[in-house]
Amino acid sequence: MNNPEPSAAQPPKTVYEDLARASWMAPLLAIVIHIGLLVFHLSPESKLRSVPTTVLLLGLLAGIIALIGAKKSNRQGIVSPALSGVVINALLMGTAIWASSRAQLGQSTQREPDPFLDYPGWWASARVSQAAISFASINDLSRASQEFNKLFATNVSFLSVAVDNVEGTNTINLDPSSIRLVFPDGATQPCIPTEQVCATAKTNQTELTARLSGMVTVPTGQKALDRSAFFPRGISYSNAVGMAVKINQKDYLIPGKYLTTQEKRKTGPAASAAHY
């Protein structure tokens, strides 16, 4: 009776075989983690959302190392799973990066236009007693203008009035009722009295009048960036050369001009920061 020959002992597995197996298993793990993250409704800013992509990257690296090691060890059963892992991980990573870039592009295109920087408009600025006084027209087409006008029965164009007295040497008392647009021929367009505008408020008339009307008084070291002056709806600021205003009981003419969106952005953050 013939005894069967003992089978040859299987050589121990190499680290390259483990890496090959890990490479093709990584996509499965990444998909499971991704589903789990969707179930828990994590916020888009959560760092955990990058875990599936990290797993795919590790699987891709594992597959590449396994392919390199397969040539050195001459072991069978490494190339096929490692190559499959590299291809699948690379495809899924590419898909994830493409989807992320599309999402970011969609968010950027849906950004709400800035009512000052993203529209052409009029701008004037000067210093009085070292305080920065500035005026900026808010485009009638901007959402800020449209939302504001929903509060009143009569639509108006409005001008943002800002006083930055952080570096000033005296208290600033600016009279909004004195504001007038000045044109090259010397003609002026007075603003509409705030009380007249607030009288057409659809709701909260008393509250709006208290918030929007009256003197703009700014002590040294402080700012007032939320006041407005009102003009007839659709007024053209393009030819205005200055803003006449009474500050601390003195008449001032603050030069200004109409700026394109490109010119506004070249002005730098100072213009934007003065109004927001």
- Answer for the pair 69, 16: CB distance below 8 angstroms, yes or no: yes
Whether residue 268 is found in the same domain as residue 136: yes
Whether residue 192 is found in the same domain as residue 133: yes
3 within domain boundaries = no
Whether residue 217 is found in the same domain as residue 243: yes
Q: Can you give the pLDDT at residue 76?
A: 74
74 within domain boundaries = yes
Whether residue 253 is found in the same domain as residue 128: yes
- Among 63, 158, 26, 44, which Cα is nearest to 104's? 44
Q: Can you give the pLDDT at residue 241?
A: 94
Whether residue 48 is found in the same domain as residue 154: no
CA-to-CA separations, 261 to 105, 139, 258, in angstroms, rounded:
22, 11, 10
Do the bridges between strand 242-247 and strand 250-259 make them parallel or antiparallel, or are there none, so unpaired? antiparallel
Q: Can you give the pLDDT at residue 181?
A: 95
232 within domain boundaries = yes
Whether residue 195 is found in the same domain as residue 255: yes
Residue where a domain terminates, one of 57, 88, 109: 109
Residue span of the structural domain in which 83 resides: 15-109
Whether residue 157 is found in the same domain as residue 23: no
pLDDT along the chain (276 residues), means of 10: 53 79 89 83 72 90 88 77 89 84 63 80 92 92 88 90 93 94 94 92 89 92 90 91 94 93 69 36
Looking up tokens 């004195």 gives 178
Q: Can you give the pLDDT at residue 175?
A: 94
Residue where a domain terminates, one of 68, 87, 109: 109
Whether residue 95 is found in the same domain as residue 128: no
86 within domain boundaries = yes
Whether residue 246 is found in the same domain as residue 130: yes
- For 87, what's the count of Cα atoms within 13 Å in the CB-facing half-sphere? 6
Looking up residue 262, the CATH number of its domain turns out to be: 2.60.40
7 within domain boundaries = no
Whether residue 128 is found in the same domain as residue 251: yes
What is the rounded CA–CA span in Å between residue 239 and residue 242?
Answer: 9
Number of domains in the chain: 2
6 within domain boundaries = no
5 within domain boundaries = no
Q: Can you give the pLDDT at residue 267?
A: 65
Residue where a domain terminates, one of 50, 76, 109: 109
Whether residue 105 is found in the same domain as residue 227: no
